[in-house]
Structure 1
């Protein structure tokens, strides 16, 4: 896994606002995987556009919803809307929203 993190550079980070290009929803990144980490069964059933498994994938809280998604990097862009995301789990992950980005209370290496 360490090798994957060294060779794969994620475009987005935890706390960033993103927009899903295909399904047109806003969200916030709550976790980043250097490569696809779910089951092959999930991939076959859900990832219909067959995005690459060896590129970053993101756990995203969907705005104005209770939904949480797992999204390939190629399907995300930066969100031009800098308003906070409304989701019931926001406070579980973040303690503040500053300059269009969520802030965690955890230190990052």
Structure 2
């Protein structure tokens, strides 16, 4: 039996990682873990997240680069107060940042 929880964050929410120095914008949500077992096992056991929680696809950025990240809900915090993100793919998916969240473009085309 699998229990699914309501996701705390939605598409367009700006978030930051609880442990690692990156932030970004959510562009997709999995109600529970939907990546490979190898990916999950590669995370050190001491910080490995539970699978039975929402996981988020994030257009992420740090001081050095832009990338996509797959992050468990337990490791995300809201971060709209820090303003918009600079990730270049935000322009492909979102119309604008309203100060609280990004607004999806009509005919949303999520990155691969």
- TM-score, normalising length from structure 2? 0.81
Q: Which residue of 2 aligns with 1:63?
A: 61
Matches within 5 A, 1:63-82: 63=61, 65-79=65-79, 81-82=81-82
| Cα shift readout 1:18-65 (whole Å, capped 9, x = no counterpart) | 1101003221111110001011011111x3311011100001111353
* CA spacing shift, 1:81–1:63, aligned 2, 3 Å: farther
Runs of 5+ unmatched residues, structure 2: 108-112
**TM-aligned CA deviation for residue 106 of structure 1:** 4.2
Matches within 5 A, 1:1-80: 7-45=4-42, 47-48=43-44, 49-63=47-61, 65-79=65-79
What is the aligned-residue RMSD (CA, Å)? 1.9
**TM-aligned CA deviation for residue 83 of structure 1:** 1.1
Matches of 1:23 and 1:81 in 2, distance apart?
18
Q: Secondary structure at the match of 1:60?
A: strand
Does the aligned pair in 2 maintain the 1:82–1:100 contact within 8 Å? no
Runs of 5+ unmatched residues, structure 1: none
